[in-house]
Amino acid sequence: QWKNQGNNVIGIQIDFDSKTKNLRDYAFFLQKLRHKLPQNYQLSITGLLDWANFKDQTTLAIFRQNINELIIQTYQGTTTIPNYSQYLKRISTLKLPYKIGFVQGGRYQKDVKYTNDPNFKGYVIFLLRSKT
């Protein structure tokens, strides 16, 4: 519908905070969604910091085969998670293309370097709705 109205649609992003223990089910959902999307559309997802602890390689392979990027959220609600850099040190073990998501006005911690990680694709700032 959006494309038919003249908009340039390149894909979709799913913002669903799946608990780490449910990632296998989420991966299967995304696999089904990927098969329903036109092949030229990208599939992007947001993810929780705790996903950096996930080790099930079979499930991670399903993610790798079906998503174009993971945007890992360094915040909860509108607040930066104080120790987010500790989780990000392990994010490369997922071997998924990822961006780091910050909340508007959040805190950036400079103690972790990502530029040497081939899966690191940049940053995303999630904007907050104006209170007016």
Beta strands (DSSP E) in the chain are: 11-14, 42-47, 69-73, 75-76, 79-80, 98-103, 120-126
**pLDDT tens-place string over residues 9-66:** 999 999 998 999 999 999 999 999 999 999 999 999 999 999 999 999 999 999 999 9
Which pLDDT score, from 0 to 100, does residue 54 have? 94
Segment 100-129 mean pLDDT: 87
Residue 2 lies in a domain: no
CATH of the domain at 23: 3.20.20
Residue 84 lies in a domain: yes
Residue 87's nearest CA partner among 76, 4, 129, 65 is 76
Residue 132 lies in a domain: no
Residue 41 lies in a domain: yes
Residue 4 lies in a domain: no
**pLDDT tens-place string over residues 67-109:** 999 999 999 989 999 999 889 888 989 999 999 999 998 888 7
Residues 14-27 as b or e (16 or more Cβ within 10 Å = b): eeeebeeeebeebb
> Domain span at residue 83?
9-126
Residue 122 lies in a domain: yes
**What pTM was estimated for this model as a whole?**
0.89
Residue 131 lies in a domain: no
Q: How many domains does the chain have?
A: 1
Segment 105-125 mean pLDDT: 84
Residue 1 lies in a domain: no
